[in-house]
A and B are shown apart, each in its own frame.
Chain A
Amino acid sequence: MPALHEIQAAFAEAVIRGNAEVLLPQVVNDAPDAAGRVAIYANHYRVTVIEALATTFPVTLQLVGDAFFRAAARRYVRVVPPAGPCLFEYGESFPGFVGDLPEAAGLPYLHDVARLEWTINAARHAPDPQVEDRLGPDRAWLRLHPACRLFAASFNVDEIWQAHQDGSGRLDAVDLNAGPVRLLVGRMADDAVGWIRLPAAEVGFVEALTGSGDIAAALARAQAADPAFDLVPFLAALIENGFALPSHLDREEETDR
């Protein structure tokens, strides 16, 4: 009699890679036969996990079409099964996988679009700020919302993504040679994911801020990149979008109570 871990290893092999050779002798074989019964589980796995990828990468799907997307996803779920039970966390390596497919060579921006979709997904599901996120040293100090992510791409994928939001996928109005973009992606006040484009100095500011929360250090970094960097409008944009947590303001509010 096989041990449970052997049964489960054989079952996983049958479900993920469709190789039921080791499992079948362990399954009661009556109509429908054991292979037909195992296939129900294998099919459920494929459908569920491919659907999760389609939910996370809807613009990627539009760019390549349904048949291509599902064929690519089918290959991916054989090679990279989910590592955890929360499907919104599945697919981190899918952008690289789909972008590297030889059949996708005609869409050089595909990898970057899929990466943007993964970043959007991560921002959508990121945790809300905790009290600790708002506590800092007693100086000019600012922390980004935990949903914020810096994103850089060789193509203007923000515009490509936007052109697919009406479902038409028409790219005629987008200049595909407009060059690289850097974005700060985050969750806005209504919980929708959005972003702002960042020039080089602003990227330096955000990078410096991310570790330390220290506005003075971040400002020095930004001004090294661009002496004309203007702090106030950028801070206003961060706060207006809900990307920044102005900790000292909150603390004053709490003291007032």
Chain B
Amino acid sequence: MRTPSADRHRRAGVGLRAPHYAGIVATRPRVGFLEVHAENYMAGGPQTRQLERLRADWPISLHGVGLSLGSARGLCPGHLDRLADLVDRTEPALVSEHLSWSVAGGAHLNDLLPLPYTEESLNLFAANVGRLQDRLRRRVLVENPSAYLRFVHSTIDEVEFLSDLVRRTGCGLLFDVNNAYVTCANLGGDPMRWIAGLPAPAVAEIHLAGHSANEADGAVILIDDHGGPVHPDVWTVYEHAVRRFEDADVLIEWDCNLPALEVLVAEAAEADRRRDRALAERVDARAA
């Protein structure tokens, strides 16, 4: 029997990390697509060649982690050129970046740092997304980050910020379920607000990943470490997300404590199974 999902959707993809490359080529797992961090493939040497080989067999998603779209000082033209070259070479199905910044005073902090959500930030971020999309001549997805702090002078909430960004730039969104869950646990809030509030037609991809719990200053803080399986609560939020963002591609990210490839692929299959079930339940509910 064909499920509603199998008719309409690409299977869930996995984030490709270097230690899994040989296993992916050898076992050709049935995943819908492969997503890579763009910055790891910008040298034009063996790594880039590997990616060009993979793109013959899987759709590729380029996930940028270093463009720093939220930097007050603007985008680095050299880095934008390198990303544009990589997009030309790999013709990815999806290109995404983050609602964050990394560069200040010439230093790259190699992290997805939080923005104050203000009119100034929104104007700047929208201008940078516009510049990026013009340069790549395609729509780019912007991902909600995981946050550990809030700024006192933020005046816009994240859902509103992202929705305005879509209106102004025509960009797409990458809804990271785990990030919304982690942010809400750390700052207060309900991830269901992201699902209800984000403009559904813009959400073209969903991310899932594991997180860990740490203690700081006597309080529990969730760390978005991509170091384990998806948390049961995050799966529950995901099942709501796929009902509203039903055309989005789904991806499992796993970056540290990297598991065997089979475990990663099984997690992607679990994402497919849960989406099929969530959509089937919705069809049943409509029929009833």
A-to-B contact residues, CB < 8 Å:
1-5, 7-9, 11-12, 15-16, 25-28, 31-41, 44-45, 48-49, 52, 81-88, 124-128, 147, 187, 191
Contact = CB atoms under 8 A, between A and B. Distances in A.
B148 interface: yes
Contacts of B108: 81-85
Contacts, number: 143
A88 B148 CA distance: 27
A41 B43 contact: no
22 contacts: A4-B115, A4-B118, A5-B104, A8-B71, A8-B101, A11-B104, A25-B152, A26-B151, A36-B217, A40-B149, A40-B223, A45-B111, A82-B107, A82-B110, A85-B66, A85-B67, A85-B79, A86-B66, A88-B40, A127-B43, A127-B45, A191-B46
Contacts of A35: 217
A187 B45 contact: yes
Interface of B: 39-40, 42-49, 65-68, 71-73, 76, 78-79, 101-102, 104-111, 113, 115-116, 118, 120-121, 124, 148-153, 187, 216-219, 221, 223
- The SS class assigned to the A binding surface is helix
Nearest to B150: A28
A125 B39 CA distance: 12
Contact of B110 (A25, A33, A38, A87): A87
Most buried by A among B45, B107, B110: B110
A27 B107 contact: no
Contacts of B40: 86, 88
B221 A32 contact: yes
B218 A83 contact: no
A4 B116 contact: yes
B109 A45 contact: yes
Nearest to B155: A1
B45 A126 contact: yes
A44 B43 contact: no
B179 to A, nearest CB: 14
Contact of B217 (A33, A48, A86, A88): A33
B177 to A, nearest CB: 21
Most chain-B CB neighbours within 10 Å: which of A7, A41, A81, A126? A7
A3 B221 contact: no
Given A3-B72, A36-B216, A45-B109, A86 B42 contact: yes
Nearest to A29: B152
A26 B153 contact: yes
B149 A125 contact: no
A9 B68 CA distance: 14
Contacts of A45: 109-111
Nearest to B66: A85
Contact of B45 (A25, A82, A87, A125): A125
